[in-house]
Amino acid sequence: MSTTHGYAARDSQSSLAPFEFQRRSLRECDVQIDVLYCGVCHSDLHQARNEWNNTIYPVVPGHEIVGRVAQVGPGVTRYKSGDLVGVGCLVDSCRTCASCAEGLEQYCENGFVLTYNGADRQSGEMTFGGYSTRIVVDEAFVLRVPDKLDPAGAAPLLCAGITTYSPLRQWGAGPGKKVGIVGLGGLGHMGVKLARAMGAHVVLFTTSPSKVEDAKRLGAHEVVISKDPAQMQAHANSFDFLLNTVAAQHDLNPFIELLKRDATMTLVGAPGHDHPSPQVFNLIFKRRRLAGSLIGGIAETQEMLDFCGEHGITSDIEVIPMQKINEAYERMLKSDVKYRFVIDLDSLRQ
């Protein structure tokens, strides 16, 4: 067991505050990681405030983790002390069902184990995430972070990166395809960078006029203010794929109308309240599709990290000390993030 310093929410109303707890002793295939950086995902906020009605308190959020291996269990073969590694949203799954066998652990039919607010498959204890100085994870769920990437900028790849990479690949983003990314937050800005690197024509949709120039700098070929019907109309029936990252309930119809025949809009944003049902005729007449997608499997997460290593892609970040997390949440709610907060865990080691 090892004493770990973290930040936890104790209930849905109060701010996150210091919390000391024990990490488990190393099992056969465990890797103990000193956390260097942890990204701040909007899911952390949804979960800390029980917006998905499934939070078990205290909760230590954080699933965009980059750190260095400090120690390994006797059966570990892939990692050694000093390696730069990452941990994303998952720390275990059943490893035997059809989805796990296909490398799609995020769709595990017997229940995956989330990095926080999950129940460990052996002990039943609740998992605690990366807003903490160290974490212990089975090597099968540890990722290798390319050494050439800045470790702080790489942290958001572990959730924002894979959550956008996986659907962009699944729905064939690439040369000759017109791809729209809806929302320029943590996920959205990674979606823009990744879709551009895959060779697609990228259009960014935002509600924030102040983000137009940034979106272009990040790689968007075109930017549309989604509240402006004339700008939206100019793109009617033209998209091969739309990736919707918006963290709040909104009307999906104006986006569905932008899809070509047979094209898909995939939702990855996971607001606390469902979107109103879209108009059925908008789907029927052009055989349009509405889909969803959850993070990505472990093998695909490694593929994404290697892709980012080759293309030099990291997140645009604002590094904060752990003590500023509550302020960061308030700013995230105001869409005032450029474009991901990343916690420097040294702030808890002093």
For 347, the 3-state DSSP assignment is: helix
Residues 192 to 221: which contact ligand NAP by CB under 6 A?
206-208, 211
CA distances from 66 to 143, 198, 244, 319 (A): 9, 24, 26, 13
Task: Report, in Å, the least distance between residue 123 CB and ligand NAP.
Answer: 26
Contact 105, 88 (CB under 8 A): no
Does 243 sit near ligand NAP (CB under 6 A)? no
Q: Which of residues 34-63 bind Zn ion (CB under 5 A)?
A: 41, 43
Q: How far is the CB of 122 from ligand NAP (least distance, A)?
A: 25
* Complex with ligand NAP: residue 4 or 266, whichever CB lies closer: 266
Cβ proximity to ligand NAP, 208 vs 238, nearer residue: 208
Distances (CA, A) of 196 to 61, 80, 153, 243, 337: 30, 35, 18, 13, 21
Q: How far is the CB of 321 from ligand NAP (least distance, A)?
A: 19
Rounded-to-integer distance, Cα 106 and Cα 114, Å: 9
Q: Does 250 interact with ligand NAP (rule: CB under 6 A)?
A: yes
Please identify, using beta-carbon distances, which residue of 33 and 160 lies nearer to ligand NAP: 160
Are the C-beta atoms of residues 75 and 29 closer than 8 Å to each other? yes
106 contributes a contact to Zn ion by CB under 5 A: no
Residue among 100 and 298 whose Cβ is closer to Zn ion: 100
For 151, the token pair is 């470790």
The residue within the footprint of Zn ion, chosen from 108, 215, 337, 348 (CB under 5 A), is 108
Q: Which of 135, 134, 104 is nearest to 120 (CA)?
A: 135
End-to-end CA distance of the chain: 21
Q: How do strand 134-138 and strand 30-39 relate by DSSP bridges?
A: antiparallel
Site for Zn ion in 145-204 (CB under 5 A): 159
What is the contact surface with Zn ion in residues (CB under 5 A)?
Answer: 41, 43, 93-94, 97, 100, 108, 110, 159
What is the contact surface with ligand NAP in residues (CB under 6 A)?
Answer: 41-43, 46, 159-160, 163, 183-188, 206-208, 211, 245-248, 250, 268-271, 293-295, 332, 335, 337
